[in-house]
């Protein structure tokens, strides 16, 4: 996972890169600079040499069985002396000035006045009476394994391998540890910069996630996008544009096809009417009427987009629109020995929606309910003050598992029933377009209760391209 994260990759590269710099700078920058740009009398390489000599002296400190400290002429000191014939050293007690055995007395002689009186924090020096003008020494009070002691070294010459000694000094653990907080700080900065920089990308992703076939005319905002991401978002927007045009083409094609089929169907119906009465005529008329219904429904679906009004959705009085729909359907219900009870508040309930759309949805629900309602039963249509409509029947109801499926186009519980299975799909499509919702519940005591929630405020106007409440639904 971390390999996919831009910020962790950036931080990893930064850490690896800075570690490389950390380890290579002493070789590539510090040592060459110190070597070539050292100031008068204190060329850095000479300081390294004297420091190295001092360390060899401290390593040679020993305590005799009687407790006295002394400097043992160790192998390291002997080798150093071999390479630097003028090398001398002295160690003294900084409190008393007493010289430790093994020290060079004549070197210490030069510092007699200081020893025991002054604490020296480190000083490079040259003995003026020394003919070798390049000879350097170093005096310093040092904390050694045997306590605080004064050390003096003199007469070491710079050798190339002193560079390695100094390199090691640069790369000690303390320096590496000092680097860690800096590393952590830059990691935090790197992480927040990448996160902040990618915030518009996350916003764009959220927007893309909301896109569906109804919102294809919308575009992902590209303001504030990092220039590296911009081409990607532009490509996505171009793709949406192409898909949008393709979908519009297909919708036009479906609408035109359905429209074109109307005339031959009308002619077919007219010709059937002229046929002699008989069972065949009645069957063919039923078939033709079914084809006609399917065609009408396909037309409604195909025209949904075109019939949206760019100037906004008109307002309508919900109880009044439903009352007139029921009035139209009442005779049919009566003929089929079903009754319709209408229950609505007296006050107006203003919702946003097209009358044809509301009528189409409610008629479909009443038709379904009338088909489900037992012979002689009563369908209840209820309008609630919160702009919700309920169509209640007492039929077999809708099984829990089918409650999503019934809104799919052409879905029918059984082929034995009349109908095409398009009614609820169209109702859902229209409710989505209105910015409302349709769902089904169980009628207490058995049956199905279909519910419609209509939008009442300005924010949910009928828009040809509105955001869906149910992204899972399928389109025709």
Contact footprint for ligand ATP (CB under 6 A): 297, 364, 368-369, 372, 393, 395-396, 398, 406, 411-413, 417, 419-425, 448
Q: Which is nearer to ligand ATP, 140 or 338 (CB)?
A: 338
Q: Minimal distance in Å, beta carbon 367 to Mg ion?
A: 5
- Which of Mg ion, ligand ATP, none has residue 369 at its interface (CB below 5 to 8 Å by kind)? ligand ATP
Place of tokens 């029918």: 412
Q: Minimal distance in Å, beta carbon 409 to ligand ATP?
A: 8
Place of tokens 């209760």: 449
- Which of ligand ATP, Mg ion, none has residue 49 at its interface (CB below 5 to 8 Å by kind)? none
Alpha-helical regions (H) of 308-435 = 318-335, 355-372, 423-434
Check if the beta carbon of residue 137 is closer than 8 Å to that of residue 49.
Answer: no
Q: Minimal distance in Å, beta carbon 365 to ligand ATP?
A: 7
Question: Running DSSP on this structure, what letter comes out for residue 26?
Answer: I
Q: Minimal distance in Å, beta carbon 299 to ligand ATP?
A: 13
Query: Which run of H or of E encompasses 63?
Result: strand 61-63
- Which of Mg ion, ligand ATP, none has residue 464 at its interface (CB below 5 to 8 Å by kind)? none
Query: Under the criterion CB under 5 A, does residue 368 sit at the interface with Mg ion?
Result: yes
- Which of Mg ion, ligand ATP, none has residue 313 at its interface (CB below 5 to 8 Å by kind)? none
Range list of β-strands (E), 108-185: 123-125, 136-144, 147-156
Q: Which of 94, 137, 397, 423 binds Mg ion (CB under 5 A)?
A: 423
- Which of ligand ATP, Mg ion, none has residue 421 at its interface (CB below 5 to 8 Å by kind)? ligand ATP
Q: Minimal distance in Å, beta carbon 449 to ligand ATP?
A: 9
Contacts of 201 (CB under 8 A, 6+ apart): 225, 226, 229
Check if the beta carbon of residue 468 is closer than 8 Å to that of residue 403.
Answer: no
Q: Which two tokens stand for residue 102?
A: 């093994």
Q: Which is nearer to ligand ATP, 99 or 424 (CB)?
A: 424
Q: What values do phi and psi take at 74, rounded to 5?
A: -70, 175
Place of tokens 């204190």: 42
Q: Minimal distance in Å, beta carbon 423 to Mg ion?
A: 3
Q: Which is nearer to ligand ATP, 51 or 394 (CB)?
A: 394
Neighbouring C-beta atoms of residue 105, cutoff 10 Å: 9
Report the interhelical angle of 44-59 vs 162-170 (nearest 10°). Answer: 90
- Which of ligand ATP, Mg ion, none has residue 403 at its interface (CB below 5 to 8 Å by kind)? none
Place of tokens 């014939």: 85
**Choices 13-21, 62-70, 356-364, 462-470; region in contact with Mg ion by CB under 5 A:** 356-364
- Residue of minimal CB distance from ligand ATP? 423
**Choices 137-145, 176-184, 207-215, 423-431; region in contact with Mg ion by CB under 5 A:** 423-431
Closest-CA residue to 329 (of 357, 355, 298, 360): 360
Q: Minimal distance in Å, beta carbon 419 to ligand ATP?
A: 3
Check if the beta carbon of residue 156 is closer than 8 Å to that of residue 21.
Answer: no
Query: Under the criterion CB under 5 A, does residue 297 sit at the interface with Mg ion?
Result: no
Q: Minimal distance in Å, beta carbon 390 to ligand ATP?
A: 12
Q: Minimal distance in Å, beta carbon 324 to ligand ATP?
A: 20
Question: Running DSSP on this structure, what letter comes out for residue 458?
Answer: G
Q: How many residues bind Mg ion (CB under 5 A)?
A: 3
- Which of Mg ion, ligand ATP, none has residue 360 at its interface (CB below 5 to 8 Å by kind)? none
- Which of Mg ion, ligand ATP, none has residue 393 at its interface (CB below 5 to 8 Å by kind)? ligand ATP
Q: Which two tokens stand for residue 364?
A: 């479909």
Q: What values do phi and psi take at 461, rounded to 5?
A: -70, 160
**Choices 242-250, 294-302, 314-322, 368-376; region in contact with Mg ion by CB under 5 A:** 368-376
Check if the beta carbon of residue 100 is closer than 8 Å to that of residue 70.
Answer: yes
Contacts of 1 (CB under 8 A, 6+ apart): none
Q: Which is nearer to ligand ATP, 53 or 422 (CB)?
A: 422
Q: Which two tokens stand for residue 192?
A: 């927040």
What residues line the site for Mg ion (CB under 5 A)?
A: 364, 368, 423
């Amino acid at each position: 996972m971390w390999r996919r994260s831009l910020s962790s990759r950036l931080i990893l590269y930064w850490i690896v890169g800075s570690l490389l710099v950390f380890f290579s700078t002493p070789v590539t920058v510090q040592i060459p600079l110190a070597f070539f740009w050292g100031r008068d009398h204190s060329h850095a390489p000479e300081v390294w040499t004297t420091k190295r000599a001092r360390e060899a002296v401290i390593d040679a400190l020993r305590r005799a069985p009687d407790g006295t400290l002394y400097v043992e002429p160790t192998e390291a000191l002997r080798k150093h002396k071999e390479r630097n014939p003028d090398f001398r050293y002295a160690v003294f007690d900084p409190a008393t000035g007493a010289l430790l055995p093994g020290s060079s007395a004549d070197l210490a002689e030069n510092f007699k006045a200081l020893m025991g009186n002054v604490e020296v924090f480190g000083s490079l020096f040259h003995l003026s009476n020394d003919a070798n003008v390049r000879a350097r020494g170093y005096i310093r009070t040092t904390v050694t394994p045997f306590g605080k002691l004064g050390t003096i070294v003199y007469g070491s010459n710079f050798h190339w391998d002193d560079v390695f000694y100094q390199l090691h000094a640069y790369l000690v653990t303390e320096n590496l540890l000092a680097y860690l907080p800096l590393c952590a700080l830059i990691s935090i900065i790197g992480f927040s910069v990448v996160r902040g920089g990618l915030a518009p990308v996350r916003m764009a992703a959220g927007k893309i996630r909301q896109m569906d076939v109804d919102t294809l005319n919308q575009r992902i905002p590209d303001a504030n996008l990092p220039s590296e991401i911009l081409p990607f978002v532009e490509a996505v927007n171009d793709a949406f544009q192409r898909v949008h045009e393709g979908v519009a083409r297909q919708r036009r094609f479906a609408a035109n096809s359905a429209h074109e089929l109307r005339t031959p169907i009308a002619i077919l119906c007219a010709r059937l009417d002229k046929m002699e009465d008989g069972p065949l005529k009645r069957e063919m008329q039923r078939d033709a009427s079914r084809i006609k219904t399917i065609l009408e429904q396909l037309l409604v679906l195909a025209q949904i987009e075109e019939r949206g009004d760019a100037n906004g959705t008109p307002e309508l009085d919900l109880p009044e629109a439903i009352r007139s729909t029921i009035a139209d359907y009442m005779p049919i219900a009566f003929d089929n020995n079903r009754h319709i009870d209408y229950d609505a508040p007296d006050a107006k309930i203003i919702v946003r929606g097209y009358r044809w759309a509301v009528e189409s949805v409610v008629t479909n629900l009443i038709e379904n309910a009338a088909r489900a309602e037992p012979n002689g039963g009563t369908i209840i249509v209820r309008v609630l003050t919160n702009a919700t409509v309920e169509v209640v029947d007492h039929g077999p109801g809708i099984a829990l598992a089918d409650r999503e499926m019934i809104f799919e186009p052409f879905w029918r519980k059984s082929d034995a029933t009349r109908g095409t299975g398009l009614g609820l799909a169209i109702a859902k499509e229209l409710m989505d377009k209105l910015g409302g919702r349709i769902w089904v519940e169980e009628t207490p005591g058995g049956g199905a209760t279909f519910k419609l929630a209509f939008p009442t405020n300005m924010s949910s106007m009928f828009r040809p391209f509105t955001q869906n409440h149910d992204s899972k639904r399928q389109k025709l």
